[in-house]
Structure 1
Amino acid sequence: MRARVAATALVTAAALLLAGCSGSGPAPADPGNAQPVAGGDATFVISGRTWAHLDIAVPAVTPIKGLINAIYDSLLRMTPEGKIIPWLAKSYETSADRLSWTFHLEQGVTFTDGTPFNAEAVKFNLERQVDPDQHAGEGGNLPQDITVAAPDDSTVVIKLSEPDEALPSALATTSVGLMASPTAVKKWGGEYGLHPVGTGPFMVKSQVVGQEVKLVKNPTYWVKGEPYLDSVTYRALGSADSALQTLKSGGADVMDFVAPQQANAAEGDANLTLMKSPALSVNQLMLNTQKPPFNDIRARRAVGYAIDQATLAKSLFFGYFKPTESMIGEGSWAWPGEKVDEYPSYDLAEAKKLVNEIGGLSFSIKVSNSSDFLQQAAAVQSMLAKAGIDMKIDAVEPSQKIADVFSHNYEAGQFVIPGLPDPDNYVRPFFDSTAGANPSGLQDATLDALLAKGRTTQGEQARKDIYKQVAARMGEVAATVYISDFPVMRLQNKRIHGIQYLVTDIFYLDKAWVSGK
């Protein structure tokens, strides 16, 4: 097992994360020359998102990636500056034809239930992700026809039928690269998500599903000297305001997924630091293209034309969120730019014209029942009404909304798809009719072909050119309508250090520590 360099100050991680990017937030507090201290506890609070399980290979994977990545380690890992590095796989290489990837595993690693981590465990996990009966929510990030071989305990070979240039990114930043104990999965079956077991720095001590998880230090963690914290508590609260007050009063160290209202309310608090990265995710209305009214492209485009993103950015989002016309955010190397000419951007007259053409438009939208999302839905509802569009708000628990959208039991759903640096890892599974979850039900051969080309073409610039065409085609078919970009924002108390925040919604806690315990 390899030892890693001791944790740097939090400011260093943030500097790497934000280097070369515009629109970044303030740097975190620098604890000076302080060295990491072992011991202590950290508490995270969140609102508007919950979890129904902690399984990594089911239809609706929990959206709380920091929690997941504290329990599970991945084959590869992304650094704060966006570089893919070996992790549980200590090295890897690909063949000249890009159809064979060989991974050499760390040795002596065990899952927290004592099961050995080895090539057979990796094979089990990868095959579980692509098992058609499993319906894994992020399984579409792996080619569905892969074959996985384990020639010895420390070697895994993945065979592909065509090149997949996004494979390393998928294994580093999505659930397909996370490793669960085969013993625990087989033991618990459909209830495994209530009893998760990984090789990560922490393990579950107790859980009240959707409300609170208590993690404790993994005493046999394979990275020498880590983690520093004794425990981590992750708690879902009823409202964003109560989460912020808990943070301000010292009852928590980090508020995860901060809305603009809370970021604005926290300005000037000397004890809190806002962590904000360039946006990868998009705040959007997912439209079910398989049934009325959104099986009619005119209805979809009418909704796009009716939403005034610039006004929302100024009046509702306090400038923290910005207008966007693409699923590919500015935090990605493939960002197509602020304008996508094919997208139906705000044009009230055109929206009214289309509504009249189709004889009226009404629909119901599923929205998470938190104050910030409901406030946003009300603002959108008012805008649509000006175009003659009647939008009814159906407020539901976040986990129920996710389940309904992924089972196509909806007309429209307010959705934030967690963005990733490589578009193949999140655009294709959601909008390619041949792969992944495809919650919009979109069937578009042109888009499918572009996404396939983006996955198999070598060279970043060549792939960027393809994804510019993807953004254009998505604007044309309008299977989803954008409200704003969605940078991941967190507020943290200055007593906590060493959290490694990525440009995605992932963060790592193996180097986290607290001062003034």
Structure 2
Amino acid sequence: MRIRLAATVLVTAAALLLAGCSGSSPAPAGSGDGKPVAGGDATFVISGRTWAHLDIAAPAVTPVKGLINAIYDGLLRMTPDGKIVPWLAKSYETSPDRLSWTFHLREGVTFTDGTPFDAEAVKFNLERQVDPNQHAGEGGNLPQDITVDAPDEHTVLVKLSEPDEALPSALATTAVGLMASPTAVKKWGAEYGLHPVGAGPFMLDSQVVGQQVKLVKNPDYWVKGEPYLDSVTYRTLGSADSALQTLKSGGADVMDSVAPQQANAVGNDASLTLTRNPSLGVNLMMLNTTKPPFHDVRARRAVGYALDQQTLSTSLFFGYFKPTESMIAEGSWASPGQTVDSYPSYDLDEAKKLVADIGGLSFSFKVPNSSDWLQQAAAIQSMLAKAGIDMKIEAVEPSKKIADFFSRNYEAIHFAVPGLPDPDNYVRPFFDSTAGANPSGLQDADLDALFAKGRTTAGDDARKDIYRQVAQRMGETAAAVYISDYPWMTLQNHRIHDVEFLPTGISYLNEAWVDGK
């Protein structure tokens, strides 16, 4: 069986710099007749992100999404043009009352440890994601009271207490839809994240945790003839500049997650191609609403008023990242647009008034200890100082930042991820007081009610109106101060072909191949 997803849109850095927005250009020319060839190794370099484990149901899920999705396949997938398609589930349907979903599984699929992929394995994985003792970082994307039945070996029935219109999107774009070997999870227990086993195109060969991991081809992958690559290596480097230099020198094929500074530095280098997808994510400052100073909404709004997004976009982000006043970004079907009336957009006088009203404002801002994010923090620090706000910068390791984020061990913390197309999967888990994560600690009954309505209401038009109200209420509560939007950008050389880059930050490698083995 041959499955070919829609081709990704490739955008050259030169075109971006000239046009100031996304455009398209032909994919890099391959060797010979341009058909995929088997063999060879590909290397991805990243910066500003790392991993402490490779467990899809851990409290803090590994942020290197391409790595995770090379090891694990999911029930469903999202294509680069935003469609949800069956994957390990060959088909699925919902009941007329939308309270049950039936998934028909592919036959003959096994995990890389030989464990059969069947209905019991799906039941195990979904129940693990909602197990309150597991504290799965993305488990909040599933209704916490679901029941999962396995009426036969290749059929799974998911029953809900109320409709969940975002369920297919959650299964296609978040960790809750990825499948791990129940045998391996039970064998390794708390250490499973160091010994991940999926049914994806690659499997773990070796790793230095948080620094480098090598994956090798799954010889029994269920898609006939794939993957083409013999192995894939992921390396994390200390700075985005070093990652870019490694790519330019031939030490890597793809730079995963490119900052505006590096995109700008590439200029019109014809040896590299930049992929820039429509933004689904937001680059923001999350404020801990459970303790001083940000238990006071006036303090939160003061920070919003003091931050000049347009200046940051122009002077620091070279136009690649743009101002936004909603966490539901422009790439989402539910986007309310770049401006939201209730959001405390830049107004230095209003910021000063609020600071005076609360008797001064000081706080610590945790950021990853990479040069680009530290440069951004320094620019924000200077802006806030003009309003009389004393912001201290606390640089931390990326893995610690993730742990602190989900445990609310912060006053303010940097948060930037590519995002997801459905707000129920991407926005609700961070601000709904009934959600499993809620790292902001926000307790707002009006917002909770809107999230519940958005999840259970059928029809994109009706849901879009609800999420417009969500954006308005979020602007009022100001639990997050938006710095910019966050389009996912990658750079690749011309040696590698057919990597599927999604705006969610996921990259699929089952069809990837390289020249010159």
**What range is the shorter-chain TM-score in?**
over 0.9
**What does 1:377-392 correspond to in 2, within 5 Å?**
377-392=377-392
In structure 1, the partner of 2:376 is 376
Structure 2 residue identity aligned to 1:29 = A
1:5 CA drift (Å): 4.2
Verify: 1:333 aligned to 2:354, yes or no.
no
Which digits, 9 at most, give the CA deviation of each residue in 1:454-509, with x for residues without a partner?
01000011100110000000000000000000100100001110001112111100
Which digits, 9 at most, give the CA deviation of each residue in 1:115-149, with x for residues without a partner?
11000000000000000000000000000000000
Aligned residue pair count? 507
1:28 CA drift (Å): 5.4
Verify: 1:437 aligned to 2:411, yes or no.
no
In structure 2, the partner of 1:508 is 508
1:299 CA drift (Å): 0.1
Give the secondary-structure state (helix, strand or coil) at the position aligned to 1:402. helix
The 8 Å contact of residues 39 and 513 in structure 1, kept in 2 or not, is answered as yes
The structure 2 residue matched to 1:4, chosen from 2, 12, 32, is: 2
Verify: 1:225 aligned to 2:220, yes or no.
no
Q: 1: distance between equivalents of 2:224 and 2:360? A: 64
The 8 Å contact of residues 284 and 484 in structure 1, kept in 2 or not, is answered as yes
In structure 1, the partner of 2:205 is 205
Which digits, 9 at most, give the CA deviation of each residue in 1:414-450, with x for residues without a partner?
1114310111001111110001200010000000000
Give the secondary-structure state (helix, strand or coil) at the position aligned to 1:216. strand
Which digits, 9 at most, give the CA deviation of each residue in 1:56-111, with x for residues without a partner?
00111011111100000000011111100000000001000000100000011000
Verify: 1:313 aligned to 2:313, yes or no.
yes
Consecutive unaligned residues of structure 1, counting only runs of 5 or more, are: 17-21
Q: 2: distance between equivalents of 1:325 and 1:7? A: 33
The 8 Å contact of residues 75 and 172 in structure 2, kept in 1 or not, is answered as yes
Q: 2: distance between equivalents of 1:363 and 1:405? A: 16
Which digits, 9 at most, give the CA deviation of each residue in 1:205-240, with x for residues without a partner?
001110000000000001000000000000001111
Q: 2: distance between equivalents of 1:177 and 1:274? A: 29
Q: 1: distance between equivalents of 2:26 and 2:450? A: 40
1:268 CA drift (Å): 1.3
In structure 1, the partner of 2:469 is 469
The 8 Å contact of residues 418 and 426 in structure 1, kept in 2 or not, is answered as no
Structure 2 residue identity aligned to 1:409 = N
1:29 CA drift (Å): 2.5
Give the secondary-structure state (helix, strand or coil) at the position aligned to 1:46. strand
The 8 Å contact of residues 247 and 493 in structure 2, kept in 1 or not, is answered as yes
The TM-score with structure 1 as length reference comes to: 0.97
Verify: 1:362 aligned to 2:357, yes or no.
no
Give the secondary-structure state (helix, strand or coil) at the position aligned to 2:8. helix
Q: 2: distance between equivalents of 1:28 and 1:463? A: 36
The 8 Å contact of residues 10 and 276 in structure 2, kept in 1 or not, is answered as no
The 8 Å contact of residues 417 and 486 in structure 2, kept in 1 or not, is answered as no
Considering only aligned residues, what root-mean-square deviation do their CA atoms show, in Å? Answer: 1.3
In structure 2, the partner of 1:19 is none
**What does 1:158-307 correspond to in 2, within 5 Å?**
158-307=158-307
Give the secondary-structure state (helix, strand or coil) at the position aligned to 1:13. coil
Verify: 1:31 aligned to 2:29, yes or no.
yes
**What does 1:61-140 correspond to in 2, within 5 Å?**
61-140=61-140
The 8 Å contact of residues 37 and 513 in structure 2, kept in 1 or not, is answered as yes
The 8 Å contact of residues 334 and 423 in structure 1, kept in 2 or not, is answered as yes
Give the secondary-structure state (helix, strand or coil) at the position aligned to 1:115. coil
Q: 1: distance between equivalents of 2:181 and 2:348? A: 54
Q: 1: distance between equivalents of 2:77 and 2:29? A: 26
The TM-score with structure 2 as length reference comes to: 0.97
In structure 1, the partner of 2:16 is none
Q: 2: distance between equivalents of 1:508 and 1:71? A: 10
1:310 CA drift (Å): 0.2
1:27 CA drift (Å): 3.4
The 8 Å contact of residues 25 and 274 in structure 1, kept in 2 or not, is answered as no
Structure 1 residue identity aligned to 2:145 = D
1:338 CA drift (Å): 1.4
1:6 CA drift (Å): 5.7
Give the secondary-structure state (helix, strand or coil) at the position aligned to 1:243. helix
Q: Label 1:111 to 1:389 Cα distance change in 2 as closer, same or farther (>3 A).
A: same
The 8 Å contact of residues 148 and 159 in structure 2, kept in 1 or not, is answered as yes
In structure 2, the partner of 1:153 is 153
Q: 1: distance between equivalents of 2:125 and 2:26? A: 36
1:26 CA drift (Å): 4.2
Give the secondary-structure state (helix, strand or coil) at the position aligned to 1:126. helix
Spell out structure 1 runs of 4+ moving beyond 3 A. 5-8, 25-28
Q: 1: distance between equivalents of 2:368 and 2:503? A: 24
The 8 Å contact of residues 26 and 276 in structure 1, kept in 2 or not, is answered as no
Give the secondary-structure state (helix, strand or coil) at the position aligned to 1:67. helix
Q: 2: distance between equivalents of 1:7 and 1:420? A: 19
The structure 2 residue matched to 1:13, chosen from 8, 14, 38, is: 8
Structure 1 residue identity aligned to 2:203 = M
Q: Label 1:340 to 1:133 Cα distance change in 2 as closer, same or farther (>3 A).
A: same
Q: 2: distance between equivalents of 1:52 and 1:42? A: 22
In structure 1, the partner of 2:410 is 410
Structure 2 residue identity aligned to 1:490 = T
The 8 Å contact of residues 27 and 275 in structure 1, kept in 2 or not, is answered as no
The 8 Å contact of residues 307 and 380 in structure 1, kept in 2 or not, is answered as yes
